[in-house]
Amino acid sequence: EAQVTQNPRYLITVTGKKLTVTCSQNMNHEYMSWYRQDPGLGLRQIYYSMNVEVTDKGDVPEGYKVSRKEKRNFPLILESPSPNQTSLYFCASSPGQYLNQPQHFGDGTRLSIL
Amino acid sequence: QKEVEQNSGPLSVPEGAIASLNCTYSDRVSQSFFWYRQYSGKSPELIMSIYSNGDKEDGRFTAQLNKASQYVSLLIRDSQPSDSATYLCAVNSLGGATNKLIFGTGTLLAVQP
C-alpha cells in the first residue's frame, strides 16, 4: 500500500529533551516536506526537500532540523524542544520536484512539549 | 508575502444543497491548485487538483480556476453530512528560490441533515 508513515503518532515530552519524528514514504517520491498545524494558523511548512540533494527552509524553520540522506526518509529533529513547538505535525510527499502533482500526507504526529 | 485566502466559515448548508467554497491567491506565477478535505484531528486528503483555467468535474465535486482573477473554487453538489469538514485550498509557489505549497487556513463546512 502506497503511504507516508510517521512515528510516533503521539508524544508528550519535556522542554529541552531532543526528539526525532520519523517520516518514510514508499512511493519513490522526490519531494518531501514537514508542516505544523495550529488552530487558526492553518498548515505552515517547516522544511522541504526537492530531492536527496536539496533541502530548504519553509516558513517556520526555527527550532527544527531535517535531513534527507536517502529518498524515502525525511526525519524532523527538535534539538531542544520548547512549549511553543506543541502542535500537530504532518509529513507529506509528492512525486515531482516542482509540486505539479498533489502531496500525500502522513497520519500526523501530535507533540506536546511540557 | 505570498498568500492564499479563504473564508474561515462556518459555511452551513442543508443536506442535498450545493456548497460553494472559494479561495484567492496572490502569486501570479502559481501553476498548480489543490483542494484538500480535512476531518478534525485527521490528515488532509486530496479532493481535486486543477492546473488550467475552467472547470474540472469529478463526481459531486467541481473545481473552477480563473488565473486572471487569481481565484479558485470548489463546488460540492448534493451535499451530505459526511462532507462536513474543513476544506483547504493549496497553491504551489515557485517564485525565486522557493518551491513550496501554500495552504489557506481552510473553510469549515457544516452540512445540516
Neighbours of B59 (CB within 10 A): 10
Residue A104 has pLDDT above 80, yes or no: yes
Of A43, A44, A59, the CB nearest to B88: A43
Å between B108 CA and nearest CA of chain A: 12
Count CA atoms closer than 13 A to B3's CA, side-chain side. 8
Whole-number pLDDT of residue B9: 86
Q: Does A1 touch chain B (CB under 8 A)?
A: no
Q: How big is chain B, counted in residues? A: 113
Residue B95's pLDDT is 63
φ, ψ (nearest 5 deg) of residue B83: -80, -10
Look up cell 487538483; give the residue.
B49
Mean of the per-residue pLDDT values for chain B? 92
pLDDT at B96: 59
Residue window 69-108, chain A: list those with CB within 8 Å of chain B: 88, 90, 97-108
The amino acid at residue B106 is: G
How many other C-beta atoms are found inside a 10 Å radius of the C-beta of residue A7?
14
* Min Cα separation A39/chain B (Å): 9
A61 touches chain B (CB under 8 A): no
CB spacing of A42 vs B103 below 8 angstroms:
yes
Interface membership of A45 toward B (CB under 8 Å): yes
The region that residue A47 occupies, defined by phi over 0 for left and psi between -120 and 50 for alpha, beta otherwise, is beta
- Looking at residue B97, its pLDDT comes to 57
CB contact under 8 Å between B100 and A41, yes or no, is no
List CB contacts (< 8 A) between A33 and chain B: 100-101
Search chain B and give the residue with CA nearest A51: B99
Contact A100 B103 (CB under 8 A): no
Q: Which residues of A touch B99 (CB under 8 A)?
A: 48, 50, 56, 97-99
Cross-strand bridge partners of residue A110: A10, A88
Residue A100: per-residue pLDDT: 80
Give pLDDT tens digits for A42-99.
Answer: 899 999 999 898 899 998 999 999 999 999 999 999 999 999 999 999 999 999 887 7
Three-state SS for chain A is: CCCEEEECCEEEECCCCCEEEEEEECCCCCEEEEEEEECCCEEEEEEEEEECCEEEECCCCCCCEECCCCCCECCEEECCCCHHHCEEEEEEEECCCCCCCCCEECCCEEEEEC
Report the amino acid identity of residue A57: K
Please list every residue in chain B whose beta carbon sits closer than 8 Å to the beta carbon of residue A100: 31-32, 51, 92
Radius of gyration in angstroms for the set of CA atoms belonging to chain B, rounded to a whole number = 14
pLDDT 10s digits, A19-33 = 999 999 999 999 999
Determine the pLDDT at residue A11.
Answer: 96
pLDDT, position A27: 95
Phi-psi region of A6 (alpha: psi -120 to 50; beta: other; left: phi over 0): beta
Residue A2 clears pLDDT 90, i.e. is over it? no
Low-confidence ranges of chain B (pLDDT < 70): 1-2, 95-98
